[in-house]
Homo-oligomer: A and B are copies of this chain.
């Protein structure tokens, strides 16, 4: 296994990107970082030698070094041209959430550039893009790993792919796939409530203040992020889901507030008017309590009926979903081999470090295979 040199291009240095670069810097036998792109600037190892490499731990200092080529933002075709001309196999790590870059994955793959990414967009948009990505990988003899697109670094997609590849029959997938919505419901409707019950609007405001929600909490409450994850899981399970909007998504944005604009004024009005709907959320909670259950926001896939759903459901107090803590995620895989008790994976499903961990682990696997 004397490895051939592998050339690495990284796009994005936000929370995940920064954590990834820190992990990359400590990797033994790390590939050669030859391209690092932010929105404003691209650092490149000079062609045609693709040397010296950009130091992953110290790229900000390197960006002033004369030995590193600087450029503005590169187009996808410029990225492809640079990486595919490297004197060895190359890998693109996309640490953005950019749909435009994701739509170009097929071109990277056809050019023999492997892809590792936590960016959901390529895998949860139109089915045609999903198919194009995997067909292009095959034709370009390149690899695609995207573990962190669902529940960050938790071994969810690798486990599902192993189940499918070894011939198990996955019958049902169910779980809490949003750290934000996990926190909201674990706080609003805990299994054992001591003290005075929390109001839904107060819990949302608290989560926003703690930075647990997107800047616009409606981006969590609309369920679209969960729907994208379900789309990915369903497709790996063999269901041809056209898009994340081709199945029912229960939005937690009251219909009366659905038309508020996506501006900061719109956010402010949304927050201000949210208490009007505390009564209906309390009713949902109490209805569940009367049945000895708790209400949770979950995604589920029934493989036989091809039914994919995202929304509120009631769960027994002693179920894995009811027992979640903090902002943890959980997924249960029900399969023929595992029988009545599912295979369960649980833990933090968001955050820079654990998302980057999934990216780094994928990169190690790609390097082992190239």
> Which residues from chain A sit less than 8 Å from chain B, CB to CB?
1, 23, 26-27, 138, 141, 153-155, 158-159, 162-163, 165-168, 191-192, 318, 320, 323, 325-326, 328, 337-348, 351, 353-354, 356-357, 360-361, 364, 368-369
Contacts and interface: CB of A to CB of B under 8 A. Distances in A.
Interface centre among A337, A340, A345 (most CB of B within 10 A): A337
A350 to B, nearest CB: 12
Given A155-B162, A325-B341, A318 B192 contact: yes
B162 A357 contact: yes
A354 B339 CA distance: 10
A165 B364 contact: yes
Given A191-B318, A348-B338, A368-B369, A361 B166 contact: yes
Given A158-B158, A369-B369, 8 more contacts: A153-B166, A165-B364, A192-B318, A320-B323, A323-B323, A325-B341, A345-B346, A346-B346
Contacts of A1: 138, 141
Nearest to A162: B361
A364 B166 contact: yes
Given A155-B159, A357-B168, A342 B347 contact: yes
Copies assembled: 2
Contacts of A347: 338, 341-344
Contacts of A357: 162-163, 166, 168, 337
Contacts of A191: 318
Nearest to A141: B1
Nearest to A343: B347
Contacts of A138: 1
A153 B166 CA distance: 11
A327 to B, nearest CB: 9
A272 B72 CA distance: 81
A359 B138 CA distance: 25
Give the 7 A-B residue pairs with the shortest CB-CB distance, closest first. A343-B347, A162-B361, A344-B346, A166-B360, A337-B353, A155-B155, A166-B357
Given A162-B361, A364-B165, A343 B154 contact: yes
A346 B360 CA distance: 24
Contacts of A153: 162, 166, 337
B341 A326 contact: yes
Contacts of A158: 155, 158
A137 to B, nearest CB: 9
